[in-house]
Structure 1
Amino acid sequence: MCLGKRPGKDNMIRHIPEDVLWNIFICLPAKQVAQMRCVSKPWNAILSQPSFIKSHLDHHLTHDDEILLVFLYGEFSTRYPVTAHPARSPILQLPNLIKLPKVDTSSSDKGYFIGSANGLICFSSNQLGFRDPVIHIWNPSLSALAALYSIASTVDDTVDDNDHMWFRFGYDPINDDYKVVKVMFRLGGIHLDTIQGSVKVEVYSLKRGGCWQSVNGFPSISFICNIDEVCVDGHLYWNCYVNAAWTQKTIVDFDLGAETFSEISIPDCIGHVVLGVLFQKLCVMSCIYNSGCEVWLLVDHKWVRHHVFRQFGDWIDPIGFTSKNAFLFITFDNRLALYNPDAAEVKLFTANIQESDTKVVEYVESLVWPPSLRANMEN
C-alpha cells in the first residue's frame, strides 16, 4: 500500500488513537512490526518505545503457541542444522520458520549455541574452548545478526594449550541490558581435569559496548560444568565441582546487574544435578536410583522439593523445562521427548540423539535488535 497516493486513507490512519494502534501492532509478527516503523515518524515513535518492545515480547510469550528450536549436540551446521518444532506436536518440523544466519566460517564450519534471552540467541562460530572465537548475537525472527570482536585474552600473560574459554549470555533486567560473560581457566592435574589457579572473568555489555571488562570474585572451585546454560531473573548460574575428586558440587551465581558472584549449596539428598528454570526460578533436576527424577525449586533462597517424575524411573537424562512448564528429557533409547504434566502425556521429537548436550530453545517473536543494528533501525 502506497500511503502517499491515497490521502484519504493516510489522513484516517493518522487519526487512529495511539492505544488502538498499540493493541493492533502488539499482535503482529516482529518482522512485520519492524517494517511498519518506516511508514511514518509517529508510528516509528510508538514502535521504538522500550515499553512497546517489552509489551510485544510479553504478548507473544503468553499467546503464541510454543515453538522449540533444537540445536543437536549444541551446534548448527550443514550436518546438524537447527530444527524448529511445534510443542503441541514436536515430531513435526517447521523447515521454513527461520533462516540461518551467514557467518564467517574461515576457521570453522559450525555454529555453537551459547545462550538465549528475549528472542536473542548468542552463539560462537568457533569451537568453544578454542582461542579467538567470534561471538554473534542473532534475532531469528528479524533475521538480524551482529558480531562481537576484540575478545582475545588468556588466563595470564602466557599461552597454554590447556587454557579454556567458555561463554554465557543473559539479560540484566535492572539495567535493561544484555551481557556476554567470558570465563577463562587453565586445566591441570594427572587427567587434565582440575582448574589450576584462579578463574578469570570478563563481561561484555551490549548497552555499554566497546570492550570486555574484568570482573573479580569467581569462587575457588575445581571444575566448571559447561552443559547447563541457565539465566533467570538477571542471574547466570554455573554447575561446579568443589573438590578434585568431583564428589562435592556447588552452584556459582553471577548477578548480571551488580556483576558480583556468590555460591548456592545443592540439596544433600540428591546426586548428579542438572540446572534448569521452572516458574521463572532456578531449579535442579536429579535422577535418583529407583526413585525417578526429582525436581527442586529455589524459593526465597531455600530449596523446595517440587516434583518427582516416578514414571520415568532413573533412565532418563533431564534437559529442562519450557516456559509453559513442559518437561524436556532424553529417553533411554536416545530420543528427545517432551512431557506435559497436566495431560500426563509424552511426545517425541524427530531425531535420535547420542549426547545430553543437545540444546532446546524457545522461539520467541521479538523486536530486540542486536546492538550494532539498533542504531541503523532507529535512523
Structure 2
Amino acid sequence: MGLLLSCLQTHKKSFTTKGKSRRKSPGRRKFIELRTLPHEESFDIPGDILVEILPRLPVKSLLKFRCVSKSWLCLISCPQFIKTHSRVSMENSKWSGHRVIFACSYPQYGLKQYSVHSLLREQSLTDAFHIYYPIKYAPNHAWLGSSNGLICIFEDVKDLILWNPSTRKSKKLPRIGTNLKIYRHIVAYGFGFDEYKDDYNVVLIVRLFEEERGYKYSLRTDSWKRVGDLEDTGIALSNSINFASGKIHWSTSPETSSGFMWEIICLDLESGVCGRLDQPDYGGSDIALTLGMLGGCLCILCYEIDTHVDVWVLKEYGVKGSWTKLFRFPCIHRGGRLVFLKPLCMLPNGEILLIFGTSLVLCNPAYGSFRVREATNFDMVEIYVETLVSPAVLNEECIDISLERELCDKLENM
C-alpha cells in the first residue's frame, strides 16, 4: 500500500489545500483534498503495478480509492476485479480480511465484529466494535450462512436479506409467492455460492401437508423456483443446509425406520436429482452425529457418547474412501449433559474455531487443548471475509474504457 500512496503523491497537480495559505501552528493539521484526476492523467501509474497492488488492499481503502478517477472507479467496480480481490482475500495466509461477527440480545441488542487475528493473539475481545445492521432488531431473525463476504439474514419469518457488512450494501429478496405460511413451515435452510454457474443461491426446505418441497433463489435471475423431488427423504434433523460441489446436503432420519438412523441427503441444484451420500465407517455403535463444513469440505462430527469426538472430512467429493478422520478431542459436558459443537473454520495455525453453546472455543487438535474466548452469551455468530461483492446484481458491466478493459483482462490471468 505504501508503494501505491507514493505513486499517488506524484500527481502534485491533483492535490489542493483547503483554505488560504497560512503559517503552520503547533497541533494544526493540513487538510488535503484529492480531486478527481482527468482520464489522461489517472493512469500514470503503470497498469501492471495497479493490477498487482489494488487486489491486495483492504475493502476500506478500495472504497476510498474509487474517488481517484472515473477509470479507478470503473476498475474497482469491474466484476473481474471484484472476483480477483475476493480470491486474493480468501487465499491470504494471514487471514487479514477475515472477520467474526456476532449478535447479542443481553443486556441489550448489539452487533459486533472483530478480526480473526484477535483470536490468535490472545487479544482482548472487549474492544470489538459495533457495525451497521440493515434491519431493526427482530426477535425472530437468523443468519443462514455466509459466502464470499455476503451474509444471508432471515428476518421475522417472512423476509430474506443479502448483506455485505464490509460495503454496508443489502438487498431484500423477493418472496415465494404471496403465501407467507410457507416461511412458517421451513425445516432447513442454507446459503451458498454455485461456482459452476457463478451464482449465489438461497435454498429452503419446506414441509407442507406431510410433503417436503425445495425452493431455490438465484441472485443472477433474482427469482425463486421449485427444485427436486424430496419424497422419502425423511425428517430433517437439523435446520442447516451445507453447500458442496454444486449440491446441497442436510441430515435426516427415515420416517419408516423402526430405530434411529442418520442419513445425509444430497440434492443437485441443477438437475434436481436427490440421493444419499455415503458415510465413513465410524467404528462404533453408541454414537451421535452432526453434519457441517470445515475448510470448504463436508465434515461429520461423530460423538462417542461420554468419551470423545471424531471429526471426519470428505476431502474428495463423491469418493467414499476419501472420508478422513482429521482429529479427535474429548467430549465437553455442561451440567452433566453432552454439548454439541459446531465448527466455524480452521485457522491458519491449525486450530479449529468452534461454537460451544453460547461461547467461542478454540481447539488445538495437536494437543487436545481448548481455549474459551471472551465472546460469550451471543445469539448468533458467523465468520466472513471482507469483499466488494454486491448483494444487488451479478450482471453489472463496466463503463467501456479501453485501458480499464485491458487491466480487467490482465486480472483474469492473475
User: What range describes the TM-score normalised by the shorter chain of this pair?
Assistant: 0.7 to 0.9
1:53-68 pair list within 5 angstroms: 53-61=82-90, 62=92, 63-65=94-96, 66-68=98-100
What is the alpha-carbon distance in structure 2 between the residues aligned to residue 160 and residue 171 of structure 1? 24
Between the aligned partners of 1:77 and 1:55, the Cα distance in structure 2 is 39
Residue of structure 2 aligned with 1:200, choices 213, 217, 221:
213
Gaps of 5+ in 2: 1-7, 17-33, 401-414
Structure 1 position 71, deviation (Å): 4.6
SS at match of 2:166: coil
For each residue in 1:284-321, what CA deviation from the matched residue of structure 2 results, as whole angstroms up to 9, or x when unmatched?
Answer: 01210254111112244215242342344674422114
Query: Do the aligned partners of 2:67 and 2:73 also contact (CA within 8 Å) in 1?
Result: yes
- Structure 1 segment 82-93 matched on structure 2, within 5 A: 82-85=111-114, 86-88=118-120, 89=122, 92-93=125-126
- What SS does structure 1 have at the residue aligned with 2:386? coil
- Corresponding position of 1:184: 206
Describe the shift of the 1:163–1:17 C-alpha distance in structure 2 as closer, same or farther (beyond 3 A): same
Percentage identity across paired residues of the two chains: 23
Partner of 1:115: 145
1:101 aligns with 2:134: yes
Partner of 2:176: 151
User: Is the Cα contact below 8 Å between 1:275 and 1:320 reproduced in 2?
Assistant: no
Pairwise CA distance, 1:253: 1.7
Residue 67 of structure 1 aligns with an amino acid whose one-letter code is R
Instruction: Tell me how far 1:99 sits from its aligned partner.
Output: 1.9
| One-letter identity of the residue aligned with 2:232 | S
Match of 2:372 in 1: 348
Secondary structure of residue in 2 paired with 1:58: helix
Task: Using the TM superposition, give the Cα deviation of residue 275 of structure 1 relative to its aligned residue in structure 2, in angstroms.
Answer: 1.5
Q: 1:51 to 1:334 in 2, by over 3 A?
A: closer
CA drift of 1:91 comes to 5.7
Question: Per the alignment, in what secondary structure is the counterpart of residue 272 of structure 1?
Answer: strand
Q: TM-score, normalised by structure 1?
A: 0.77
Q: Is the 8 A contact 2:251 2:264 kept in 1?
A: yes
Q: Which residue of 2 is the match for residue 289 of structure 1?
A: 305
Q: Work out which of the residue numbers 170, 175, 180 in structure 1 matches 2:197.
A: 175
Partner of 1:307: 326
8 A contact 2:362–2:372 mirrored in 1: yes
Deviates more, 1:160-169 or 1:31-40: 160-169
TM-score by length of 2: 0.72
Q: Are 1:241 and 2:253 an aligned pair?
A: yes
C-alpha displacement of 1:53: 1.5
Report the structure number with the largest CA radius of gyration.
Answer: 2
Q: Give 1:25 shift.
A: 1.4
Matched-pair contact (CA < 8 Å) for 1:320–1:327: yes
Q: CA deviation at 1:28?
A: 2.1
Q: Distance in 1 between matches of 2:144 and 2:233?
A: 22
Task: Write the distance in 2 (CA, Å) between the matches of 1:165 and 1:149.
Answer: 20
Query: What is the CA distance between 1:352 and its match in structure 2?
Result: 4.5
Query: Matched residues in 1 for 2:149 and 2:313: separation?
Result: 25
What is the root-mean-square deviation in Å for CA atoms of aligned residues? Answer: 3.8
